[in-house]
């Protein structure tokens, strides 16, 4: 074995199977005066250590053939290399992997992507610890030799030892600080906050008058800022947010960054129960002021959940969970507000979670049904088509209202799967009626295409397969798409809609008037129909203004060679007005509620004329 020849220049071995990582780490460390060696795999690393023992090893975990854990174990099992400090670097951020790293002998763990400053300080700290250990070890050996005959030297050695211990204590304090603080904002981290919250919970039985509250804050639209302006701007914004929050609370209160764009505040020793709401208002007001960052001016808001202490909380996790639940309630109400936690929120959260789980199983168990609501032609007064609407027959809850499960399906992304099934089922049903010769061949079927499905990479193949598989004439298929789905990516939408129109599929903009409603896009898209949202029709008899608005939409549609369909017609008076305004088609409970396939066929057989 060859010993390290230059004790002043620390020798560091970097082991990583990614050359870019090796080059970056080598550059960072070399610039700080360290001697750097590199190894692309575990076998080379072990050989290098036995040839020349390094002062420290930076070791990647995920490597082919011999991973980082195995390399560390082999080094620790050899007398000459067992004392080399090993710092693991890995993109793995799970607790079990970190625990394993320390079990095999690692002294520290850095998560990729790493910050150069973090790597340097951790390397410096571990080298300092190692150097201190070597000094203490050598000093103890020297003391044992001279203890009988060199009392004075023993005293000096004790003083040196004391100094070394003080340095070690300072170093440990620095490490403890890092363990309890967020490295980006220098606020307390989740670990410290949970300990502090637990201490406060334990005080409640000892002092019945003691009260505190927790505020859970999540930044609205932070991901948009991070993705569009970059992570450096995002980090700068988080630091600035932390500084503003610190100015709004008392010294006795505790603020922490829990992770990402989430912050928590512990308001201690509350006297006035309105104080947490006052602080929440101040926070929302303060965050509404734009942030002047180095690269951009940024506007942001936040949603805040508030939970008050009580003697029912047994641990900090429960209290933070409820604050988080209240925060999500604030987001669902439109964001940039705060909500105070109530017990029913937790029950609703559980109910929503159960609904989400049931929804996933409903797809597997085929619990969905397609209902058909007739669309009436105002010129003939007869049914000219149907809109296919999904219904959920829950095995224990019965028929679940679309308003209860559609938002959950949209949020989880399951709506794309449901929409695809509805499309296929509706095409099959219409084709079956045609083959039985029980309907007019001109009757069409309308199917809603959600934002999720419209952005699906295989959208055109899904639609094409749905009508081709059953040999349905594409002229009988009408796709209803919302304005937001189109405008999310208008250039791609233009191409998709044009391809669909070339297939003779009819296209309708659903809920027109509630989204962008911009003339700047209408002329670009090959749309056949505008559907007037039912919110305008519902107020038709109450406000002349709504009559003028609906008249404008109908005129707009006609001028652009489109048809107009009014949704939500419930009275004969509404039908009369819409006919007078020149509306082409309508649907609503006045004609019929959505029906199952057999009932829809029975309604057609009546040949009713409105």
Last residue of a domain, one of 124, 159, 180: 180
Residue 494 domain boundaries: 364-605
Are 151 and 225 within one domain?
no
Are 60 and 140 within one domain?
yes
**pLDDT for res 488:** 65
Give residue-wise pLDDT tens across range 404-440. 888 888 877 888 999 999 999 999 999 999 999 999 9
Are 583 and 535 within one domain?
yes
Are 197 and 150 within one domain?
no
Beta-carbon count within 10 A of 318 CB: 14
Are 313 and 436 within one domain?
no
Specify if 569 maps to a domain. yes
Specify if 351 maps to a domain. no
Residue 145 in tokens: 């030799």
8 A C-beta contact, residue 557 and residue 508: no
pLDDT lower than 70: segments of the chain = 1-8, 147-148, 151-154, 488-489, 513-521, 542-544
Are 484 and 377 within one domain?
yes
Distance CA 419, CA 410 (A): 10
User: What values do phi and psi take at 291, rounded to 5?
Assistant: -95, 120
Q: Kindly give, in sequence order, each residue whose CB lies less than 8 Å from that of residue 489, ignoring residues fewer than 6 positions away.
A: 455
pTM > 0.85: yes or no: no
Q: Enumerate the β-bridge partners of residue 445.
A: 386, 477
Q: Enumerate the β-bridge partners of residue 155.
A: none
Secondary structure (3-state) at 460:
helix
**CATH no. for residue 439?**
3.20.20.450
8 A C-beta contact, residue 587 and residue 565: yes
The vertex-377 CA angle with 580 and 438, nearest 5°, equals: 160
Are 228 and 258 within one domain?
yes
**pLDDT for res 322:** 92
Specify if 375 maps to a domain. yes
Are 451 and 573 within one domain?
yes
Last residue of a domain, one of 157, 180, 203: 180
Specify if 369 maps to a domain. yes
**pLDDT for res 410:** 83
Are 171 and 203 within one domain?
no
Specify if 352 maps to a domain. no
Are 286 and 407 within one domain?
no
**Sign (positive/negative) of CA torsion 265, 267, 273, 279?**
negative
**CATH no. for residue 321?**
3.30.70.270
Last residue of a domain, one of 131, 152, 180: 180
As for how many domains the chain has, the answer is: 3
> Which among 92, 89, 93 is positioned nearest to 118, based on CA atoms?
89
8 A C-beta contact, residue 54 and residue 12: yes
**pLDDT for res 8:** 66
Give residue-wise pLDDT tens across range 16-66. 999 999 999 999 999 999 999 999 999 999 999 999 999 999 999 999 889
**pLDDT for res 526:** 87
Specify if 610 maps to a domain. no
Are 254 and 372 within one domain?
no
User: What values do phi and psi take at 468, rounded to 5?
Assistant: -70, -40
Are 154 and 261 within one domain?
no
């Amino acid at each position: 074995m060859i010993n390290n020849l230059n004790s002043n220049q620390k020798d560091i071995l970097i082991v990583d199977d990614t050359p870019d990582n090796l080059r970056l780490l080598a550059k960072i460390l070399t610039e700080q005066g360290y001697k750097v060696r590199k190894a692309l795999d575990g076998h080379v690393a072990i050989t290098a250590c036995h040839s020349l023992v390094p002062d420290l090893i930076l070791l990647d975990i995920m490597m082919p053939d011999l991973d980082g854990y195995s390399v560390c174990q082999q080094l620790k099992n050899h007398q000459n290399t067992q004392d080399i400090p090993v710092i693991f670097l890995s993109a793995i951020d799970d607790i079990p992997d970190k625990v394993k790293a320390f079990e095999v002998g690692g002294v520290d763990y850095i998560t990729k992507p790493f910050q150069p400053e973090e790597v340097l300080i951790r390397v410096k700290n571990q080298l300092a610890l190692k150097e201190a250990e070597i000094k203490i070890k050598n000093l103890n050996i020297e003391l044992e030799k001279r203890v009988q005959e060199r009392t004075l030297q023993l005293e000096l050695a004790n003083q040196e030892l004391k100094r070394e211990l003080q340095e070690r204590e300072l170093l440990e304090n620095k490490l403890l600080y890092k363990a309890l603080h967020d490295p980006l904002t220098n606020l307390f981290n989740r670990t410290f906050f949970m300990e502090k919250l637990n201490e406060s919970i334990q005080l409640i039985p000892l002092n019945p008058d003691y009260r505190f509250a927790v505020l859970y804050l999540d930044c609205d639209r932070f991901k948009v800022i991070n993705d569009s302006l970059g992570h450096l701007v995002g980090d700068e914004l988080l630091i600035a947010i932390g500084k503003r929050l610190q100015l709004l609370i008392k010294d006795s209160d505790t603020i922490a960054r829990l992770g990402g764009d989430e912050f928590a505040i512990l308001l201690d020793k509350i006297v006035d129960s309105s104080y947490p709401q006052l602080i929440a208002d101040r926070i929302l007001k303060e965050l509404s002021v734009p942030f002047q960052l180095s690269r951009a001016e940024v506007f942001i808001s936040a949603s805040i959940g508030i939970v008050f202490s009580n003697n029912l909380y047994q641990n900090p996790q429960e209290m933070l969970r409820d604050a988080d639940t209240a925060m999500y309630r604030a987001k669902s109400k439109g964001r940039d507000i705060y909500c105070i936690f109530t017990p029913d929120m937790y029950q609703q959260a559980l109910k929503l979670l159960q609904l989400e789980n049931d929804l996933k199983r409903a797809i597997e168990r085929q619990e969905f049904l397609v209902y058909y609501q007739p669309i009436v032609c105002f010129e003939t007064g007869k049914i000219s088509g149907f809109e296919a609407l999904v219904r959920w027959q829950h095995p224990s809850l019965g028929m679940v209202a679309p308003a209860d499960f559609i938002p959950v399906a949209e949020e989880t992304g399951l709506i794309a799967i449901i929409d695809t099934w509805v499309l296929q089922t509706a095409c099959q049903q219409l084709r079956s009626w045609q083959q039985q010769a029980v309907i007019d061949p001109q009757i069409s079927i309308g199917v809603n295409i959600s934002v999720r499905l419209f952005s699906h990479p295989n959208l055109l193949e899904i639609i094409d397969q749905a009508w081709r598989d059953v040999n349905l004439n594409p002229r009988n298929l009408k796709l209803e798409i919302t304005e937001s789905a189109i405008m999310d990516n208008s250039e791609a939408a233009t191409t998709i809609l044009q391809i669909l129109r070339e297939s003779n599929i009819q296209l309708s903009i659903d809920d027109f008037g509630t989204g962008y409603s911009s003339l700047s896009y209408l002329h670009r898209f090959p749309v056949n129909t505008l559907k007037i949202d039912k919110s305008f029709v519902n107020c038709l008899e109450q406000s002349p203004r709504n009559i003028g608005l609906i008249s404008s939409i109908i005129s707009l549609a006609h001028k652009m060679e489109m048809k107009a369909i009014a949704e939500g017609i419930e009275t004969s008076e509404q039908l009369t007005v819409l006919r007078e305004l020149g509306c082409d088609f309508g649907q609503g409970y006045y004609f019929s509620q959505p029906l199952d396939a057999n009932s829809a066929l029975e309604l057609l057989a009546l040949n009713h004329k409105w």
